[in-house]
Structure 1
Amino acid sequence: MDLEHVLERDWRSYRQQQVQRLANPSPPVPLPPDVAEFIEPFEDDPGAPFDRWPGLAPALEPADDADPDDVARRVLARLAAESPDSVSDCHLALVSAAHSADVPAAIGWQAEAPLPLLCALLRSWEARFGALLFAILGSTAYVSVACPPHTQEQALHIALEHVLTTADNVIKDPPTPYPEYAESLIDNALWSFWWD
């Protein structure tokens, strides 16, 4: 797969929808009467701040303690400590694959994820950010990141690739506004994606 070409094509479609939505904003949806007064309506998502396809986010320099395998172990321990219910029913699987990016295809993962694109992105993220797919639980993929973005500019660029995965937790239910989603990636060694 020519990842750059596919993502640029998908970005053009995304950008066209973004421009239409910004040109014709939907009226604000009033909150139900039983919602507390201090709750504010969900803010409109301005979308990605790019007028042109910015290309793939550049690789980031690893820190001294950024061994991808060590980071994956730490992130798994963090996930188990913070969300024990999310990993309580998981099972260890040995999969014959050269890269963790190849695991979803090797096991025939059944989710609404665009599998060829996801595997290509995971492989590219491994090379650029030391990212390793370390768990698949149901329709959720968990990725450890040895070199996460450290600045808002880096995070805004990487967040666009997350949006183009079409993961429901990134673009639906309701989506976190793009700038806030990007900010959540800064120095975060755990990325997760799920599809209905």
Structure 2
Amino acid sequence: MTTPSHPLSALSALSALPDGLGLPAGSVIAQGGAPLLWLADETAEPGSWAQLRPAAESAGLLPVLLHDTHGPAEWWTDRLLPGRMSDPEDHHVEVVLREYWEAVVPDEAEDEDPEGEGAELIAPFGRSWAGLAAPGAAGADPEAEAAGTAEALLASGRLRNPRLGLVPATRSADIPAAIGWTGPTNHENDTARLGAVLRSWEERYGARVVALGFDLLDLSVAAPPRTSAESLAVAAEHFAFAPDNIWQGAGSLREYAQELPGSRQWTFWWD
């Protein structure tokens, strides 16, 4: 798990001196005596994401919004399992996505018609993993895009009980594994494997982890795919990463891909 050298002292400083760092009142969430993150006590309001910047820059912590939309209230008090997670560094994105793809694509042997519903769901792709999508073109500043996405989420009212959080991690993609987030547990028990994909999206699309719910993940995207072909390839990665986006959403990769060109926010959920 990727953390600063002294996360305890950094998080303790935030808890003891929130006023000096421009933060609202908050406390450190810990598991087994190990500090995982600092979390504000009160619900975040539009405009409050900027409060995290001074502390994040001075203490080497990264911002995130936690909320209890679609899940138990304040799930972060007892549903974080950092001991179950490995390190995203230990996993290769191609291997992870290939394994996910092979696990979630319809089994041809179970299809009465090999060219029927199962094949149509993943068209134009076959049952073998097609490889990574091409990187997005140079886009907006990723940190500015993350701030804008966070403020848009807060203003939308979609997040229930959102809290400002700060996590001891060196890159945004590592936030879920660093705190032991278990949102995708029905798809993947080791969130660090998903973290390997998030790292790749961070590099290829300027993605940043902005918000975590009980089973929801919101990313900002600074360099999204622009064309239909690029979006189809990204849609295949999204299906492998979070199949419920298609199974319980668009219904097929082609339909889902239509939502992606130019989209600067990606949302994932796991049932």
For this structure pair, what is the TM-score category when the shorter chain's length is used for normalisation? Answer: 0.7 to 0.9
- Work out whether 1:166 is the aligned partner of 2:242: yes
Cα deviation for residue 18 of structure 1 reads: 5.8
Give the partner amino acid of 1:100: S
Cα deviation for residue 3 of structure 1 reads: 1.8
Task: Figure out how many residues of one structure are paired with residues of the other and give that number.
Answer: 174
- Work out whether 1:17 is the aligned partner of 2:107: yes
Cα deviation for residue 74 of structure 1 reads: 1.5
- The 8 Å contact of residues 48 and 160 in structure 1, kept in 2 or not, is answered as no
Cα distance in structure 1, aligned partners of 2:108 and 2:210: 33
Cα distance in structure 2, aligned partners of 1:62 and 1:18: 39
The residue that corresponds to 2:92 in the other structure is: 2
- Work out whether 1:132 is the aligned partner of 2:208: yes
1:107–1:68 CA distance, 2 compared to 1 (3 A): same
- The 8 Å contact of residues 117 and 165 in structure 1, kept in 2 or not, is answered as no
Q: Deviations over 1:139-186 (max 9, x none)?
A: 111000001111000000001110001342x13335532111111011
Cα distance in structure 2, aligned partners of 1:141 and 1:12: 23
Structure number with greater Rg is: 2
Q: Which runs of 5+ in 2 are unaligned?
A: 1-90
2:165 match: secondary structure: coil
- The 8 Å contact of residues 221 and 265 in structure 2, kept in 1 or not, is answered as yes
Seq. identity, %? 36
Cα deviation for residue 122 of structure 1 reads: 0.6
2:255 match: secondary structure: helix
1:58–1:174 CA distance, 2 compared to 1 (3 A): closer
Give TM-score, length-normalised by structure 2: 0.58
Cα distance in structure 1, aligned partners of 2:104 and 2:130: 13
Give TM-score, length-normalised by structure 1: 0.78
The residue that corresponds to 1:183 in the other structure is: 258
Map 1:6-155 onto structure 2 (within 5 A): 6-15=96-105, 17=107, 20-21=110-111, 22-23=113-114, 25=116, 45-51=120-126, 52-63=128-139, 66-81=140-155, 83-84=156-157, 86-111=158-183, 112=185, 113-114=187-188, 115-155=191-231
Cα distance in structure 2, aligned partners of 1:10 and 1:94: 30
1:148–1:94 CA distance, 2 compared to 1 (3 A): same
1:54–1:182 CA distance, 2 compared to 1 (3 A): same
Cα distance in structure 2, aligned partners of 1:18 and 1:123: 32
Could you say which structure has the higher strand fraction?
Answer: 2
Cα deviation for residue 90 of structure 1 reads: 1.0
Cα distance in structure 2, aligned partners of 1:186 and 1:19: 34
Q: Deviations over 1:3-46 (max 9, x none)?
A: 212322333444562685452747xxxxxxxxxxxxxxxxx953
Cα distance in structure 1, aligned partners of 2:172 and 2:165: 12
- The 8 Å contact of residues 68 and 130 in structure 1, kept in 2 or not, is answered as yes
- The 8 Å contact of residues 45 and 176 in structure 1, kept in 2 or not, is answered as no
Cα distance in structure 1, aligned partners of 2:206 and 2:109: 33
Give the partner amino acid of 1:72: A
Cα distance in structure 2, aligned partners of 1:11 and 1:69: 30
